[in-house]
Amino acid sequence: MQTPLPNGGLRLQLRLRHGTKLVMGPGRADLLMHIAATGSIAAAGREMSMSYKRAWTLVEEMNAHFNPPLVEAVKGGVGGGGARLSAQGQAVLAAYRALEAATRTAGETFLAQIEAALQVPPDPD
């Protein structure tokens, strides 16, 4: 999660690790969201300016961490195959987004306190 404060200062990113392995973060969640919207790993990657290989690698990594997998293949027909989120994928994405929102709400005051203590203005994006 990359949530800027209202004035555009500090950002908070939520990354979930299982041991040393990253299992979910803002990029992975966005990839899942785009797969759900497009029905395609390739199209999701394009929407994120990510190569198909990188998108597929991230999907494989996520699928290896969760049982059942988060993304499943859709068999081809006239229009070809694709991908979709499994019920598990939908549930994990929804839980991650809810955790992002809860973290953002709980951390707002603390981020403002930390930002007020900073001496350097934020870099322009």
pLDDT in tens, 24-66: 999 999 999 999 999 999 999 999 999 999 999 999 999 999 9
Domain extent, residue 27, equals: 3-110
- Cα-based distances in Å from 87 to 79, 105, 118: 23, 27, 43
Q: What is the CATH number of the domain that holds 70?
A: 1.10.10.10
| Chain position carrying tokens 């981020």 | 111
User: Are the CB atoms for 35 and 71 separated by under 8 Å?
Assistant: yes
d(CA 105, CA 33): 22
> pLDDT-based confidence at 112, cuts 50/70/90?
confident
**Structural domain total, the chain:** 1
> pLDDT-based confidence at 5, cuts 50/70/90?
very low
Q: Does some domain include residue 120?
A: no
Q: Does some domain include residue 28?
A: yes
Q: Does some domain include residue 125?
A: no
* pLDDT > 60? residue 2: no
